[in-house]
Amino acid sequence: MSFEDVRAADAVNVFANPDEFGEELTYTPHGGSPTTVRAVVTRHPERADPSRRYKADEMEISIPNDADDGVTAVTRGQDLVAVAPIIGGAVQTCRVIDILYHDSAMWRLKVRGGT
């Protein structure tokens, strides 16, 4: 197993695992059907890093680059994610507004609520 294979497996089985750091969300690709994915959600990142510019309704979401437990393609400005902005709070629909990073293991997306 290569290092890239290990990273991809860890993205699903460790980082985005709901028993570890992740949670399950509903992801709707543009023109597609909603599906359940695993993700790590960073809520209100402006509180953790004041140098970054985020609005109160924006979050970062890390989703495995995986056909079964994540997504393999993202359409900025079109894809939707259902997520609670506060843990245990009401779920709201957010739009993917930016792809911050992606590689063979993970997508890091900026999403905005109120969509």
pTM for the model stands at 0.81
- 47 or 114, which is more confident: 114
pLDDT in tens, 22-71: 899 999 999 999 999 999 998 875 555 555 555 567 899 999 999 988 99
In terms of Cα–Cα distance, which of 107, 105, 104, 109 is closest to 94? 109
Contacts 24+ apart (CB under 8 A), 89-94: 94/57, 94/59
Lowest mean pLDDT among 20-24, 72-76, 78-82: 20-24
Domains of the chain by start residue, with CATH: 3-112 (2.40.10)
